[in-house]
Every structure is written in structure tokens, then in C-alpha cells.
Amino acid sequence: MNSIRVIGVGSPSGDDQVGWHVVRSLAHQPLPSTVTLLELDRPGASLLRYLEGMDAVVLVDALRAGFEAGSVLSLTREDLLTESRIWSSHQLGVAEALALGEALDLLPTRLALIGIEADPSQTSLKQLSLPVQAAIPQAVAKLSSLLAEWSQATSSPSPTIPVLTDRQ
């Protein structure tokens, strides 16, 4: 696997920041040198630009899927492209952007999403809720094993990887 990207998707409010936190934690782990890390703020359809040229992409995002707050879910490419979609009027969400990417044949061969169930009772705009904060190590562990599985056994680990951002 030549190029792998991990993209934390979110916004600077409450549990929606968790994708960025997970990516920042991942940056301190030994990772294959083919991995790039990125934080995106509500990218809409422009998410597809950051998938271009990649062999594999893992998205990390907060979810509202009805599980217990802090639950960590792994969604496969198939899961992501068959989930029921709600068309958001103001901008495309991740699921819609991926559906558009599939129609345009822009998606990488390997695609997954690590989702962390947000806490609906979280009222702080600044901080993560406790259950979501506590879920970060588990999300990082899932990511690490997925990346290890995807990367070539021959690629050497790189100690620190810079996190690129495109914020609003």
C-alpha cells in the first residue's frame, strides 16, 4: 500500500472535535512512513479532493448512531456506501460526499471510518464529554491495527508525522 491517509473530520464544538483529537494522538505513535495525517473542518464535497491519489483512507469522525456515548465503531467501505443518507440542505455531510465520490469513481480502493458515538447530553462547546474523551485510546488502537494491516510489511516506521489542517 503506497499512500495511506488518516483524516479527522469535525468542527470546533464539543464532541464533534473528537476526530481531530484522535488524529493528534495518532501523530505520537510510530506509524508506517506511507501514512499522512490531516484534520478537516466540515469539508463538504471538498472532502473528495483530499482522497485523490490515495490508495487507502481512514476517516475519523463523531457519530450519532444511537449507541452508548463513547462507543467506537469501525465502518467498512461497504457500510459507508450503503448507509441510508439524509440530504443536508446547507452542505454535504461525509456520507453524501462519499456517495458522490463513488459515482465519480474518485474513492480509494481501501476506505474505512472509525466513528466515536457522541454524547447527546454534552453541553460544553469547548470540551469533549468524558465518555468521548475516554474513548480516544481505543479509537487510536483500532486505527493503529488497521494501518498496520493495510501497510506493506516492508515500510519502515516514522517516529513523528506532522498533522496538516484545513480549518474554517
Partner 1 sequence: MADETQQRSVELHVPVLTRVEGEGALHLRIRDGQIEQLQLAIFEPPRLFEKFLEGRSYEEVPDLVARICGICPVAYQMSAVDALESLFGIDPGPWVQDMRRVLYCGEWIESHSLHIHLLAAPDFFGYDNVMAMAKDHPDEVRRGMHLQGLGNALIRLLGARSVHPVGVRVGGFHHAPDEREVDNLLRQLRDALPQAEAMVRWTAAIDLPERTQSFPSVACQSDDYPLVGGRIVSDRGLSIDKSAFEQQFAEHQEPHSTALYSLLDGQPYLVGPMARLNLHRDRLPAAVTHLMDSLPIDWPSANPFHGMVARAIEIYYALHEAIRLLGAYRRPAQPFVPVTPKAGTGFGCSEAPRGLLWHRYDVDAQGLITAARIVPPTSQNQARIEADLRESLTDFGLDQPDDALRQHCEQVIRNYDPCISCATHFLRLTTERL
Give residues in contact with partner 1 (CB under 8 A): 41-42, 45-46, 48-49, 85, 87, 89-92, 96, 99-100, 103-106, 166-168
Contact (CB, 8 A) for 74 and 40: no
Q: Report, in Å, the least distance between residue 128 CB and partner 1.
A: 23
- Report how far Cα 2 is from the mean position of its chain's Cα atoms: 19
Smaller CB distance to partner 1: residue 13 or 46? 46
Report the C-alpha gap between 13 and 107 in whole angstroms: 28
Smaller CB distance to partner 1: residue 28 or 85? 85
Report the C-alpha gap between 76 and 16 in whole angstroms: 21
Report the C-alpha gap between 139 and 125 in whole angstroms: 22
Q: Report, in Å, the least distance between residue 57 CB and partner 1.
A: 17
Q: Report, in Å, the least distance between residue 109 CB and partner 1.
A: 18
